[in-house]
Amino acid sequence: MPRNVEVKARIQDWERSLQVCQQLSGSDGEQILQRDVFFNTTKGRLKLRDFQDGSGQLIYYERPDLLGPKLSNYSLSNTADPHGLEAVLTQALGVRGKVVKERFLFLVGQTRIHLDRVKDLGDFVELEVVLKDSQTAQDGDLIAQELMNSLKISQDHLLTGAYMDLLQGGEKN
């Protein structure tokens, strides 16, 4: 199962964060519109990501709800029929909720930086340090901490869970 070290935090200054991401990545980033449907599960999280262009991904992940960098194990499968898959999974599992966002993706080394504008929540930054097989979670933590420093992400801006948790009032931050 692929692994990454993930950090999620509120953004205090969108324009500054955007400029830093552009400088770090050497690009303007890629804009991606996403609609995530979370399904009821007994463990982990299962979501269908609809890219609103006829394609999507079914993503299952397990990640502790802790502040700061945390290890996430995930599996994903691409689909050319997100609406049909959503209908089947809704019947089988029921829907926990939906998250709609505009995402700007920046690649910095082995890290995917997402600047997210989440409907009904606000602006966020998410770091995903994609680990190589030979790397430990501690290696990913070090990379994440460096990027957190560059983006001026402080401890009081960190989030523990997913956007879905915030929308449902389960997030403590």
* pLDDT tier at 2, thresholds 50, 70, 90: confident
* Domain 3-167 sits in CATH 3.10.450.50: no
Q: Each residue of 107-154: pLDDT tens digit?
A: 999 999 999 999 999 999 999 999 999 999 999 999 999 999 999 999
Across the chain, what does the average pLDDT equal? 94
pLDDT of residue 76 exceeding 70: yes
Q: Which residues contact 45 (CB under 8 A, 6 or more apart)?
A: 38, 60, 61, 62, 63, 162, 164
Question: d(Cα 40, Cα 38) in Å, to the nearest integer?
Answer: 7
Q: What is the pLDDT of residues 10-37, one digit of tens each?
A: 999 999 999 999 999 999 999 999 999 9
Q: Answer yes or no: is pLDDT of 173 > 70.
A: no
Domain locations in the chain as residue ranges: 3-167
pLDDT > 70 fraction of the chain, expressed in percent and rounded: 98
